[in-house]
């Protein structure tokens, strides 16, 4: 999964349209950085909560991940989601980028809140 994502990113960046993508990424702002860092931090919390849930005989609710993923599959999917999110964010024009980052951050915060309040998932780093 991670290898496929890396290959797709390399192919995309080597295409003639990549020059447009580079110019969009140059418009990256401090707000974009703060939103992306916030997303990654929230994913890290969700990742730790889910590891706790799975270690305590719980199940994952995300259908993409599956109810009882292997640790390797779960870690690979989390990594792919972070890398993929950053790639999409870099390729989008500023207005769409902030909408993408904001919506995905709110969704991730909802998952973390649910894990904490409904399941009691602990976070340990």
82, two tokens:
């972070």
pLDDT of residue 35: 97
Higher pLDDT, 11 or 82: 82
What tens digit of pLDDT does each residue of 31-57 get?
999 999 999 999 999 999 989 888 888
The pTM for the full model equals 0.76
Mean pLDDT value of segment 69-94:
93
- In the structure encoding, which two tokens stand for residue 78, read together? 């989390």
Percent of the chain whose pLDDT exceeds 90: 50
Measured over the CA atoms of residue 22, residue 24, residue 29 and residue 31, the dihedral's sign is negative
- Residue with tokens 């730790």, as numbered in its chain: 48
Report which DSSP code applies to 18: H
pLDDT for res 115: 86
Secondary-structure percent of the chain, ordered helix, strand, coil, rounded to 5: 75, 0, 25
Q: What is the pLDDT of residue 125?
A: 59
**C-alpha neighbours within 13 Å on the C-beta side of residue 52:** 16
Q: Rounded to an integer, what distance in angstroms lies between the CA atom of residue 24 and that of residue 40?
A: 21
pLDDT in tens, 3-38: 444 445 555 555 555 555 555 567 899 999 999 999
């Amino acid at each position: 999964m991670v290898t496929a994502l890396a290959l797709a990113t390399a192919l995309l960046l080597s295409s003639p349209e990549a020059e447009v993508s580079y110019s969009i990424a140059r418009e990256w702002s401090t707000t974009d950085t703060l939103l992306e860092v916030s997303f990654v931090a929230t994913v890290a919390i969700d990742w730790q909560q889910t590891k706790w849930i799975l270690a305590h005989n719980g199940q994952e609710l995300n259908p993409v991940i599956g109810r009882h993923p292997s640790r390797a599959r779960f870690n690979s999917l989390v990594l792919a989601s972070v890398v993929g999110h950053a790639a999409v964010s870099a390729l989008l024009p500023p207005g769409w980028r902030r909408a993408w980052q904001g919506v995905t951050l709110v969704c991730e915060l909802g998952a973390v809140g649910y894990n904490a309040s409904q399941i009691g998932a602990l976070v340990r780093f």
